């Protein structure tokens, strides 16, 4: 089913403020994350740019009430001696999970475009979640490439896990300060035709 293009109730938000203030969250409360909220966020996030309108994504959502069952479901994908460590790690990191999966187009150009579109979708999701005070950490742990874990997640040959997003609400005082300020754009930009100390870029 295709969505209507513009949501009538959408008002102007301060995009720059959201982009700057969003932080990766790694400390969460136990408040459950509902499927309704995640679907609402995703239905906005899927308006990410994607070349050829291939919409190169699908999702596996693990709601809070299924988290324990999910962890036990994927543990057999790990070596036995890792089970306790992984159980604790996954238990501590988030109240729910959203796994973003993309098709791996065999053509390199399309593969790259699809990965970039998938990343744009994830950033849309992170920003939209932030506005609703839902914290996200985008995880690219080794197990996203582990064949046994992939199989337990239902990831098919020819698909790739772009990210496992750990989700949860958070206390304001848990928002981390950025480790350091971002380098300014001016420092990273050469302007064609403009003379700098190093000379003129031609
Ligand atoms: C592609 C990508 C992969 C990431 N993978 C991880 C990860 O595996 N584990 C983690 O703790 N954070 C991960 N992060 C989050 C970054 O560490 C985080 O964005 C960075 O520290 C900057 O912090 P900020 O998001 O609060 O600005 C990832 C971010 C991106 C964009």
* Residue 199, pLDDT above cutoff 80: no
pLDDT of residue 11: 56
User: What's the average model confidence in pLDDT over 164-185?
Assistant: 96
The reported pLDDT for the residue numbered 195 is 77
Going across the sheet that includes 159-169, the strands are: 58-62, 96-103, 159-169, 134-139
User: Which residues have a Cβ under 8 Å from the Cβ of 67 and sit 6 or more positions away?
Assistant: 90, 91, 94, 95, 96, 97
Task: For residue 197, report the distance from its CA to the centre of ligand 1, in Å.
Answer: 34
Handedness of CA 15, 21, 27, 32 (dihedral sign): negative
**Tokens at residue 152, please?**
């337990």
Q: Cβ < 6 Å from ligand 1: which residues?
A: 23-24, 137-141, 178
Domains of the chain: 22-175 (3.40.109.10)
6 pLDDT more than 60? no
Given ligand 1 and candidates 92, 100, 120, 140, which is best to mutate, with the most ligand atoms within 8 Å of its CB? 140
pLDDT at 197: 67
Q: Average pLDDT in the 129-156 region?
A: 97
Cα separation, 19 vs 123, whole angstroms: 9
pLDDT at 155 over 80: yes
User: How many percent of the chain have pLDDT more than 90?
Assistant: 88
pLDDT tier for residue 13 given thresholds of 50, 70 and 90: confident
Q: Of the ranges 55-59, 153-157, 173-177, 193-197, which one carries the lowest mean pLDDT score? A: 193-197
Q: pLDDT, tens digit, for every residue of 133-142?
A: 999 999 999 9
pTM of the full predicted structure? 0.93
Expressed in angstroms and rounded, the spacing between residue 55 Cα and the centre of ligand 1 is 23
Sign, CA dihedral 184-189-194-200, equals: positive
């Amino acid at each position: 089913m295709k969505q209507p293009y513009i949501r009538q109730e959408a008002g102007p938000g301060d995009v720059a403020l959201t982009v700057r203030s969003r932080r990766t969250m790694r400390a969460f409360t136990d408040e459950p994350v509902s499927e309704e909220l995640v679907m609402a966020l995703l239905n906005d996030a899927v308006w990410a740019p994607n070349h050829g309108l291939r919409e190169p994504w699908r999702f596996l959502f693990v709601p809070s009430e299924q988290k324990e069952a999910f962890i036990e479901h994927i543990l057999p994908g790990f070596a036995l001696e890792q089970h306790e460590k992984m159980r604790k790690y996954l238990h501590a990191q988030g109240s729910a999970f959203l796994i973003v999966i993309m098709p791996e187009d065999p053509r390199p150009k399309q593969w790259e475009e699809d990965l970039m579109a998938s990343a744009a979708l994830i950033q849309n999701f992170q920003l939209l979640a932030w506005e609703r005070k839902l914290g996200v950490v985008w995880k690219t742990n080794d197990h996203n490439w582990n064949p046994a874990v992939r199989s337990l997640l239902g990831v098919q040959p020819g698909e790739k896990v772009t990210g496992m997003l750990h989700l949860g609400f958070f206390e304001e005082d848990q928002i981390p300060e950025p480790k350091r300020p971002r380098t300014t754009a001016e420092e990273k930009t050469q302007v064609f035709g403009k003379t700098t100390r190093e000379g003129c870029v031609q």
